[in-house]
Structure 1
Amino acid sequence: MQDVVDPFAEFLVTLQALWANAVGFAAGVAEPGWRQNQVFIILAVALVSWGLHRKSGDILHERVRAREGWQKWQLRAIVQIKRRLGLMWFCLIIGIVFLLMQNLTWPSRSYLIGLAGKLGFVWLCIAFAARLVRNRPIRRIVTWSLWVYATLYMLNLSDQVAAFLDGVAIELGDFRLSILTLITAVVVIGLLITLARITSTATASTIRRNEDISPSMQVLAVKGVQLAAYGIAFYMGVKAVGIDLTGLAVLSGAIGVGLGFGLQKVVSNLVSGVIILLDKSIKPGDVISLGETFGWIQTLGARYASVVTRDGKEYLIPNEDLITGQVVNWSHSNDFVRLDIHFGTAYGDDPHEVRRLAIAAAASVERVLNHKAPVCHIVGFGDSSVDYILRFWIRDPTGGLTNIRGNVFLALWDTFKENGISIPFPQREVRMLDEE
């Protein structure tokens, strides 16, 4: 029973101490004197800063709109500065007031003003530094946690509040989780993940600039660096706050078995993605067709591949489908693609002349390769036409296949029309019999 009562009693003592400090400060401010005057000065500076924030924000907005050619990072920096103009004005004005009062009166009569200035400056630095955390919920948690900690530290209340938060805890045997541990874990892990993101981004940029590494290996290396960096950051964050992971080994094993059955497809896609990157069968920039989908690989993710078609649609194809399905990679070993066009001419036209004109018409199209010359062959004698196949090569399938076929058909039409080659079409003759 003693082990249960002591933490609760310590919790009450800490709470009473915090309340006594708050009441004492409020009583001191309520009495006329320099402490009250300093509070009024701080409130007046805050009011002036708020007015300057609105005025200067409008001026900054108009000047930014009047100029063109801003880059994204510049616009984002301007937005962040505009949001915090009030705090910047407060730090500047309160700093000037503090220096004046330090020289004109006793230093003790400007203690609260100096404290407010230091606290405002620390808040401003935290607000800008927290922008390094991209995840918005984590960024807010980190920002508010650091603001609260800085405030308590400036007021010499950090130890008492830490004891208060540490007293609110859940205990299961040897496992103990308090609010203080949880908040510390979120802040530390958030900062470490931010550091890991910056490191992985810099490493990824270096890897992508290395032309000696193939695109697929670049993707694999970047994913490996990101996984290692984030994994190390999470592990170090958990260990830094003193959470023992050995006690969770059995529980995590049981959870892993359950997740293994529920996430079979996810794991399959992850493994398939690693296989694709290792065997280099598909890489960013390749032109593929899978079923009715035809486009080029934009990115290879851990779970899916992004395929962009000519009409601007982006298909997210699971990696497992790229492994198990029949994929046509138009640019696996080289960029050359051969296209076939079928057409027919009348029996009265010279087939030798038709072949020559068809080859010349295909060669006149811009994207058709000349060093791999087009060829034309007779493939059969139809009911009303001599059937031909025209074959030609291109090396830019990302430019589209339908449009190049259409251009070749137009070239055939113009050439045949100029040289009197007719393209037959089915005709029917209807005879009306007189009724008897």
Structure 2
Amino acid sequence: MDRSSYRWRICALLFFATTINYLDRQVLGLLKPALAVQFSWTETQYSYIVVIFTACYAVGMLLSGKLVDRVGVKIGYGVCVLLWSIAACGHALVRSTFGFGVMRALLGLSESGSFPCAVKSVSEWFPRKEQAFAVGILTSGTSIGAVVAPATVPWLAAVYGWEAAFFVTGLTGFVWLGFWYFMYQAPLKHKKVSREELRLIDDGASTNAAPQPRISWFALLKLRPTWAFFVGKLLTDPIWWFMLFWLPSYFNSRFNLDLKNLGLPLVIVYVATSIGSVGGGWISSKLIARGWSVSKARGTTMFGLALLVTPIAFAPWIDNMWAMVALLSLAAAAHQGWSANLFTTASDMFPKQLVGSVVGIGGLAGALGATLFPLFVGAVLDHFKLLGNIGAGYNVIFVICGSAYLIAWLLMRVIRASRTVTDVDGLQADAS
């Protein structure tokens, strides 16, 4: 009997796209010290470049989600990767602060399409019981990208110049596009997908369902599940961005680590996120396979992961660096497991043709939070720095990080109120 498993090759493609996504976005941050000298950037000028990326990423989340729902995953994802690869390579050609701003804007707009496209692809290629595990695998690419970037970019810049670092990392997207073009197609149209696998992917739904009407953003925003997903992303995405951008400074100020000694603690934390991403998705998928309802399996898993983040609130009483690395690793791993399940709730609650738009709305929320939270972090750290105790400032932030997930979980439960979306006609009626 043919037991085709082509869907896992698609999952591998999505994993590598996510890895390239995070690799490309981190190059500027890693090269910032050298570029700041060459282009005479002040911290304020550099912050403007960062804000441009984040703001365009937020706007792009909405646009890309709607794009992929209209034109399909193959074209939608292909366009996003093509544009962000052009932008990544384009950094090597600019010679002004304005030029970097333009390239970061294009990079933010196009990279924002990664998760709406990837999650929609998972909703089309995987049965519900496997979706969280698949999303966990592709989400782990963010962690791998976070590890690969510091391992390769400084070396490329030192040996071949900073332009080569942007150009070489940007080229990886074009390589991926070649595989995407030849390997990807919708399951029903794919010649390498067996009937048995189609039945598994279909998971009991009709493969001959009639085309569904398009639903506007405004109609989606009238629904409780949309706001549940929105709140979950708004409250928890900023925690990951904080860990991505501030942990080097934290280890430097708290434990006096210089650039030569920062690598190992950061690698341990980011590798742990890969384990959490895959593990968090695997747990809920396993519970569903054992007969749990989708809602119960997802909610229970997310509650457990939220609890695993809370120990980071005890940072004020931790003086040993490796104990702190362990707590941060646990929190970061739990975040990625949470994120894998949170993304999958979109495909749990909404029909496949709406998943991209819903993920885009949630991505906008996460990007808004990631834009506002750093302003709060900076104000808190500057305040305590003036008092001569910046470590206390970090402690305040860690307490907030430790409680954010439980608050998000409770609010999502209250907002959703056990409602799911299964009737697209009902959505259409809401929109009219």
Please give the range of the TM-score, normalised by the shorter of the 2 chains.
Answer: under 0.3
Report the TM-score, using the length of structure 1 for normalisation.
0.22
Relative to its length, the structure with more helix (as a share) is: 2
Which structure's residues are more often strand, by fraction?
1
User: Which structure has the larger Rg over C-alpha atoms?
Assistant: 1
Q: TM-score, normalised by structure 2?
A: 0.23
Which gives a bigger RCO, structure 1 or 2 (Cα 8 Å, sep 6+)?
2
